[in-house]
Amino acid sequence: MTHRNIYMTDELQAIYDQTVEFVQREVTPHGEQWELDGKIPREVHKKMGELGMFGLRVPVEHGGLGLGMLASATFSEALGASTFGGFDVSVLVHTENMTIVAARTSTENRYGITMFLVPAGTEGFSVAKKLDKHGWRCSDTAELVFDNVWVADDQVLGTVDRGFYETMRNFQNERMVLVGMGVGAAQVALDQTLEHVQHRPAFGGHLWDLGAIRQRLAMRQAELDAVRASMYHAAWIGDVGEDNVKEMSGVKAYGAEVINNIMYDCVQFHGGMGYMRETPVERMSRDARILPIGGGATEVMLEEVAKRSVIA
């Protein structure tokens, strides 16, 4: 089996190949309609669950595969190849029947937050308004209303007043997954743009004949390769039990910038068609805009790097 990078094992490569095949079969043919619908059919998530895609990092004793951050990086990059960022994130947050609510439960500790499982149909719980987003159009985002909602003790997820800290334990994985999805999408965008400029007639030849375009695309590919390599390295650091906050924060900040620059150039080199909704790069450019914001804004990520770069 040919591995995609030095961190790959046969198991991780199989996860990548299986995910790409699933995306091509179950997602790509239907993604445009999901963008219009503003949601992903639950049946798609059920199929992914049956294939074990939702249990990569779940401990074996709880029915998962017990893998680490390298598995998340591999899976998220393969998901990104779908070109539908809204689908990618829906895999991480799907709340049709159950919503996880973070609520303040301590008046003394500002971090005193508890996570609750709130089923759909709970008395006093309702959806007020669906939010109209710039990108990630096929992921469902809405305002939630809680009017004297009561839940049972067994609907507490984790430990009372420890929800913030429990969430923080997954921050680095969340940041890496967002970068991974962006890397997968950016590679598709570059590949599609390369094919376009090689065939697009211009100035007695093709766009590819223009050195400025060739070199820009070459540099963007080099930058993307650097982000991908850094992402897998940061994941490996986490998997061997070392603190990877500095590395992961740097990858998140730099990767989000690189991915958005790639999308900008891909739209530019598609010309007028790149501005049309029917062109995948138009959608991918909108989806990429959330990357410097979600999962830790770029400014916050750079502060994390700076704090850990000070020489005592």
Active site residues: 174
- Tell me how far apart the alpha carbons of residues 144 and 99 are, in angstroms, rounded to a whole number: 10
Distances (CA, A) of 62 to 57, 58, 65: 10, 7, 9
Residue type present at position 229: A
Neighbours of 192 (CB within 10 A): 17
Which run of H or E residues covers position 5? Answer: none
Whether the Cβ atoms of residue 172 and residue 248 lie closer than 8 Å to each other: yes
DSSP for 113-173, please give it: EEEEEEETT-TTEEEEEE---SS-TTS--EEEEESS----GGGEES-TT-HHHHHHTTHHH
Closest Cα to residue 37, out of 87, 98, 1?
A: 87
Whether the Cβ atoms of residue 113 and residue 168 lie closer than 8 Å to each other: no
Q: 140 phi and psi, to 5 degrees? A: -85, 115
